[in-house]
Amino acid sequence: MTVKTIFFDIDGTIYDEDKQIPSSTREAIAELKRRGHNVAIATGRAPYMFKELREELGIDSYVSLNGQYVVFEGKVVYSNALDTELLKELTLFAEKHDHPVGYIDDVDMKVSVAEHEYITTSIGTLKLAFPTHDAEYFLQNPIYQALVFCQPESQEMYAAAYPAFNFVRWHPLCMDVLPGNGSKAEGIAEMMKALGVQKEDIYAFGDGLNDLEMLSFVGHGIAMGNAEEEAKAAARYVTKHVSEDGILEGLKMVGLL
């Protein structure tokens, strides 16, 4: 049997809309591991945001922060921080438009203002602790992903002003800010070097706009039934909704279970 590597996004893929893991997903991942396959996570979240999930599922390899911080079997194999001076310029630009900025490294997240409706609404959907205020956090720490809290119509303005950054929306009131070459696909490519494997032995499940590059890059991209239409178009397969045994059905579809 050829060992395969399967990457799973978290929100909308492992987690359902209530941030719970369907029992069929839990059992399917355990069975993959029993069969000797490599199971990894590929997420926009920072490592500290899914530590309990990793422990619960017994996963110690992951592509986090949309590809900017990659860990293989507990060891960091790749990191790609945002340029500090450019991030400083972006922060000043965002302040002029009353758009808060978030700064995320591997251990924490800080925000540029103490309170803002956009932060409360968007971060609240992740069911995480509210980030604390530290407007200078990015000056003392490597930031692998930033956030700009703004409405969708502002995204093109930022993309035009800062072409060196990649802006990916994950919520109506918030978008990720990545290095221009940053994506889950880049992170997976770095993981592949550590594994010494080819694309044809790589599978990935996802549902969001930050999964597009990943789903089209791997040998077998599987979009969830609840995925964005762009994600479905980028994938090789489309499985059922996360709450309808989507992971289990997808693994059966591609012959892994």
pLDDT tens digits for 212-221? 999 999 999 9
pLDDT at 21 over 80: yes
Determine the Cα–Cα distance for residues 146 and 158; give it in Å rounded to an integer: 13
Domain segments of the chain as ranges: 5-79+182-253, 84-179
pLDDT at 65 over 90: yes
- Name the nearest CA neighbour of 215 among 72, 14, 11, 6: 6
Q: Which CATH class is domain 84-179?
A: alpha beta
Q: What are phi and psi of 29, to 5 degrees?
A: -65, -40
Q: Give 126's pLDDT tier (boundaries 50, 70, 90).
A: confident
The 3-state DSSP class for residue 103 equals strand
Q: Any idea which fold 5-79+182-253 has?
A: Rossmann fold (3.40.50)
Query: pTM score, two decimals?
Result: 0.92
- Name the nearest CA neighbour of 6 among 47, 44, 38: 38
- 31 class by beta-carbon count within 10 Å (0-12 exposed, 13-18 middle, 19+ buried): middle
**Distance from chain centroid for Cα 48:** 13
Whether 207 is a known active-site residue: answer: no
Q: Do domains 5-79+182-253 and 84-179 have the same CATH topology?
A: no
pLDDT at 127 over 90: no
The DSSP line for 137-166 is HHHHS--SEEEE---GGGHHHHHHH-TTEE
| CA–CA distances in Å: residue 107 to residues 46, 50, 76, 148 | 7, 11, 13, 19
Alpha helices (H) in 7-116, listed in sequence order: 23-34, 51-57, 84-96
